Structure 1
Amino acid sequence: MSDPVQPITVYVDADACPVKAEIYKVAERHRVKVFVVSNAFLQVPPSPLIERVVVSSGFDAADDWIAERARRGAIVITADIPLAHRCVTAGADVIGPTGKPFTEASIGMALATRNLMEDLRAMGDVTGGPKPFSPKDRSAFLSALDVAINRLKRAGFASGAP
């Protein structure tokens, strides 16, 4: 008896995610299940492929929920570097909202940069946050998500939701 084919699953760290509409569109096209995880109620399209998950308001509750389910065959969408690190370590594909993939090769530098910037902000040396989200970022994200799903399909993961 052969092992059942694992489905591709997308987990969205949704509280501040600017590309939810794009995720829904790509998920419908590829027929993959999406979990939209947040600390508060968010509107999601009425689709059997899209499931809203509201976690407690505890610190990192959404991150913990996602990280516990991250595995090979999962795609995690997040701008949260520590969460990205946890998910990459678990074998998931991780993509930032700007389309930047987080990989085993890049996550260490991303964590170090995040920690450095946090220290500089705490000392008052750096003010402000990331640059504004642009149409180019949205386009890069769509491309990165499509590439990740197609790569997982070629690796033998199922495109149809369970």
Structure 2
Amino acid sequence: MKSKIQKITTNLWFDTQAEQAAKFYASIFKNSMIGRITHYGKEGHEIHGILEGTVMTVEFQLEGQEFVALNGGPQFKFTEAISFIVNCESQVELDYFWEKLSEGGEEKAQVCGWLKDKYGVSWQIIPTALTEMLSDRDPEKSARVMNAMLQMKKIDIKTLKQAYEG
């Protein structure tokens, strides 16, 4: 990892899968890497109950953004209240991220470009053009795009463009 610490770093709390999750995400995104890994010592065992030598944190980067994965125990779970947006330039790129991140995840959580991965983390896999189409000054165009998107699990760019064009 870089010697300069990023001002704001996303911390992801896992039960016991921090290292597996960090490696999974780094295998999907280009320009990614695994950094420092820390382990629990004897200190604090009476509080957290996690065995000495167990991975505590894994620092990793995805597309140059730094993250920390923590094995903190089962107390907290991921919810859809927090998600990561992956902006895609093409359908091929969108399909790639959708396939990789949805593998082993919750199929019932797949709606309007959202998915939940096998670790319970929520992702939005969307085309970069979607924001432009939804913010068009013509409310009819943006409404057609929104209505089309609401019918989808995985976003289909061609269908969105057809709706946009009327």
Q: TM-score range by the shorter chain?
A: under 0.3
TM-score (normalizing by structure 1): 0.26
* Larger relative strand fraction: 2
TM-score (normalizing by structure 2): 0.25
Larger RCO (CA within 8 A; separation ≥ 6)? 1
Please identify the structure whose Cα radius of gyration is greater: 2
